[in-house]
Amino acid sequence: MVKKIIDPWGSELVEDYNKLIKDFGLETFNIKDFPKPNRLMRRGVMFAGRDLKLISKCIKEKKKFYALTGIMPTNDKIHFGNKMVVESLRYFQDYGAITYILVADLESAAARGISLKEAKKRALNFHIPAYLALGLDPKKTVFYFQSENMDVVHLGFEFAQKITLNEFKAIYGSADPGRIMSAVTQVGDILFPQLKETMPGIVPVGIDQDPHMRLTRDVARRMKSKYKFFLPASIYNKYTPALNGDLKMSKSKPESCISLPEDSKVVCKKIMKAKTGGKDTLAEQKKKGGEPEKCIIFELFKQHLIEDDKELNKIYKNCKKGKVMCGEDKKLACDLMTKFMKSFNKKVDKNKKKIKKLKFIKFK
Ligand code: TRP
């Protein structure tokens, strides 16, 4: 078996999602396990996970569980990967999950050199309002900063005892001190909600974060005699591909990457140059049709821009039949993206004003 290391801090591309499922022993996501699957679930964007049955059981039997994610305030923008995580959280929140969002300010300091003060400012002014703008219910969401949560810090120190350097290297491919600190803290985050009461939990993440989930599950197993933690479940989304067809958008290639928010005019220019599944000439495309499977514009429709399955299907068919050409689809993508950005910005501003009313965990 080829054991490819996925590095949550790196930029290695994942070519074959099925191979990942095999290599890492993931469960394939089964749409039948979840009621009213959301857009990402219906379209195979959520493609795998760990212990998904446990969560599906909680939903069906209305048992307590939690859903959690962390915000890295390293940038003044977020990306489509964050959007997918929020949409998954929202799904579980709708089915009763106690929802936690933590600001990974200790990780930002240890791994990226961002001061705690700066991290806090960014999180309150942008990241938290942005996550709310993408659909979370502020009344049902609990927030904290890693640096203020001594329980998390203490758990991290305790968990450090249970991990060896070699094991860390095997999971992550490297072992920088900053990464070790960040990883044990993250394990603390993920298990923290179970300190008061053990219950299943789920962490929706991009597939590159799976190493953290493996580590957390290993630690939880080793702590069984003391804490009786449920091993946390996880659910993974595929990447939103870069506009040039690369597997993942990357800020290092801004012409192929769309951030949230971004100026609509700039975004539309990029969209106009995106890779499509079109033929060399219009005449040929009209005759033979295009290939939506290879088209990044179609992928944007599928993952983010078009909610209605029938509408998406129509676009697919019209492309296949050569009825609608790439230019027209690009124009539609640009219009929908402009609408999305406008509404996103508006909601971010609205949520900024609500920041004082949010439920931050109080620490003594
Ligand atoms: N490491 C995560 C990132 O890079 C942030 C994070 C910290 C996190 N704690 C977490 C994510 C707990 C999920 C769960 O984005």
CA of 101 to the centre of ligand 1 (A): 10
What average pLDDT does range 113-128 have in this prediction? 97
For a substitution probing ligand 1, which of 66, 189, 237 has the most ligand atoms within 8 Å of its CB? Answer: 189
Q: Strands 141-145, 201-206: parallel, antiparallel or unpaired by DSSP?
A: unpaired
Place 8 in a pLDDT band, splitting at 50, 70 and 90: low
Task: Tell whether the torsion through CA atoms of 175, 179, 182 and 183 is positive or negative.
Answer: negative
Those residues whose C-beta lies under 8 Å from the C-beta of residue 221, and which sit 6 or more positions away, are 231
Is the pLDDT confidence value at 3 over 70?
Answer: no
Amino acid at site 104 = A
CA of 137 to the centre of ligand 1 (A): 20
pLDDT for 14: 55
pLDDT for 10: 53
Place 349 in a pLDDT band, splitting at 50, 70 and 90: very high
Is the pLDDT confidence value at 342 over 70?
Answer: yes
Cα–Cα nearest to 11, from 224, 173, 127: 173
pLDDT for 16: 80
What is the rounded CA–CA span in Å between residue 333 and residue 301? 7
Which tens digits make up the pLDDT trace of 286-303?
999 999 989 999 999 999
Is the pLDDT confidence value at 351 over 50?
Answer: yes
Is the pLDDT confidence value at 141 over 90?
Answer: yes
Atom index in ligand 1 nearest the CA of residue 68 equals 14
Is the pLDDT confidence value at 2 over 70?
Answer: no
- Please give the structure tokens belonging to residue 188: 């603390």
pLDDT for 15: 60
Is the pLDDT confidence value at 104 over 90?
Answer: yes
DSSP per position, 63-92:
---EEEEEE-TTSS-B-HHHHHHHHHHHHH
Torsion over CA of 358, 359, 361 and 364, rounded to 10 degrees? 80
Ligand 1 pocket, residues with Cβ under 6 angstroms: 68-70, 72, 102, 104, 107, 186, 189-190, 203, 205
Place 93 in a pLDDT band, splitting at 50, 70 and 90: very high
What average pLDDT does range 89-97 have in this prediction? 98
- Ligand 1: residue whose CA is nearest its atom 15: 72
For a substitution probing ligand 1, which of 209, 213, 217, 251 has the most ligand atoms within 8 Å of its CB? Answer: 209
- Residue 301's Cβ-count burial label (10 Å; 0-12, 13-18, 19+) is buried
Which tens digits make up the pLDDT trace of 243-263?
999 888 998 999 999 999 999
Which tens digits make up the pLDDT trace of 16-55?
888 889 888 999 999 999 999 999 999 999 999 999 999 9
Which tens digits make up the pLDDT trace of 63-82?
999 999 999 999 889 999 99
User: Element (H or E) spanning 48, and its range?
Assistant: strand 46-50
pLDDT for 261: 97
- Residue 363's Cβ-count burial label (10 Å; 0-12, 13-18, 19+) is exposed
What average pLDDT does range 272-290 have in this prediction? 96
- Please give the structure tokens belonging to residue 6: 């996925």
Residue 153, SS3? helix
Give whichever of 18-22, 204-208, 267-271 has the largest mean pLDDT.
Answer: 267-271
Q: What is the mean pLDDT of the chain?
A: 94
